[in-house]
Amino acid sequence: MKFKEKYTVKEMCKVLKVSESGYYRCPREITKATTEIQEKENLIKRDFSSDKPMKKLLTDITEVQCADGKLYVFPVMDCFNGEIVALEMRENMTKELCIDTVKQLGRLKDVILHSDRASQYTSDAFRAKLKKIGMVQSLSGTGHCYDNARMESFFATLKKLYRYRHTEWHEKK
């Protein structure tokens, strides 16, 4: 495009790669991890057993509908006995929720923390925190819900118990 004295909004937006409203960038391409990389990052490979406590941990975030809004629950489960060893709940789902939960664990050398590939877990801040406390990150493959099946099963049980104990919530659904 040649330099001109005046540009139309449409021309400027095209050059800047933004929509005409100016609020949304037009993505060039989305970066995706290859299958090879995803396989290397999945350290537990659906083996949810552990012969020692605090060696293999699972985590995920779930949303719970409450009478006054949504609550995001972030537990960390020990694969040794299924115990929840850390838990944080907030009204928003941010990387800080995850970082604060992991802080509860203290320093843990060579402990594997397995999760899905949500943006909170792949953020630089979360990865730096894991490295600082000595944990090793393991990530599920994209679209592989069975890679974190034990944690998903825990959430299903938690929500069933909640639903049957809180009939007003059950009646809304």
| Residue ranges of the chain assigned to CATH 3.30.420.10 | 37-172
Tell whether the torsion through CA atoms of 58, 61, 62 and 65 is positive or negative.
positive
3-class secondary structure, 51: coil
Q: Is 101 buried (19+), middle (13-18) or exposed (0-12) by CB count in 10 A?
A: buried
What is residue 19's predicted lDDT score, i.e. its pLDDT? 65
What is residue 78's predicted lDDT score, i.e. its pLDDT? 92
Which residue ranges in the chain fall short of pLDDT 70? Answer: 1-4, 13, 18-40, 144, 164, 166-173
What is residue 166's predicted lDDT score, i.e. its pLDDT? 62
Q: Where are the alpha helices (DSSP H) in the chain?
A: 9-16, 35-41, 95-103, 119-122, 124-133, 149-165, 167-172
What is residue 66's predicted lDDT score, i.e. its pLDDT? 79
Mention every residue, 6+ apart, whose C-beta is less than 8 A from residue 157. none
In angstroms, how far is CA 172 from the centroid of its own chain?
A: 27
CB 95 within 8 A of CB 127: no
What is residue 54's predicted lDDT score, i.e. its pLDDT? 93
What is residue 56's predicted lDDT score, i.e. its pLDDT? 93
CATH fold for the domain made of 37-172? Nucleotidyltransferase; domain 5 (3.30.420)
